[in-house]
Amino acid sequence: MPASDLVNLSGLMDDAKCFAFVRQHRWPDGARCPGCGGSSVIRDGCDDTQAHRQRYRCKACAGRFDDLTGTVLAGHHQPLRVWVLCLHCMGLNLSNRQIAGELGLAVSDVQAMTEQPRHGLVVKCQR
């Protein structure tokens, strides 16, 4: 796909697809508790402000988490779709400078976003 199509891609993507992408990326075999690693989790509604951000409750440790808990995506100021496009570009082996150009971001912003995901989307649990 030519990189110039990415701008159009951004317009086509909605939050539901972005969260689906994140879920698929971090939990290819289904959601797991970031606290204890258990797979007995139940859906527990959605985020109050982001309707497609699924919340979960762990049956084993009663921990609560959501799609972005424990990822570098949590609490970042960039919209999720920018992250997803950024990850997509990284998959195409574009440089930070190229990604910045395609997505209309500052190179320093892209650098901050790509630094951690190159080592994996999910950061170590802080507990």
Name every residue whose Cβ is closer than 8 Å to that of residue 54 and which is 6 or more positions away in sequence. 19, 23, 31, 43, 46, 47, 66, 67
The one segment of 15-23, 58-66, 72-80, 101-109 that binds Zn ion by CB under 5 A = 58-66
Least separation, in Å, of the C-beta of 56 and Zn ion?
9
Q: How far apart are CA 42 and CA 55, in angstroms?
A: 9
Least separation, in Å, of the C-beta of 60 and Zn ion?
5
Contact 24, 16 (CB under 8 A): no
Residue 68 is a binding residue for Zn ion (CB under 5 A) = no
Q: What are phi and psi of 115, to 5 degrees?
A: -55, -50
When binding is defined by CB under 5 A, the residue of 63, 76, 78, 121 that contacts Zn ion is 63
Q: How many residues bind Zn ion (CB under 5 A)?
A: 8
Residue 36 is a binding residue for Zn ion (CB under 5 A) = yes
Binding site for Zn ion (CB under 5 A): 33, 35-36, 38, 58, 60-61, 63
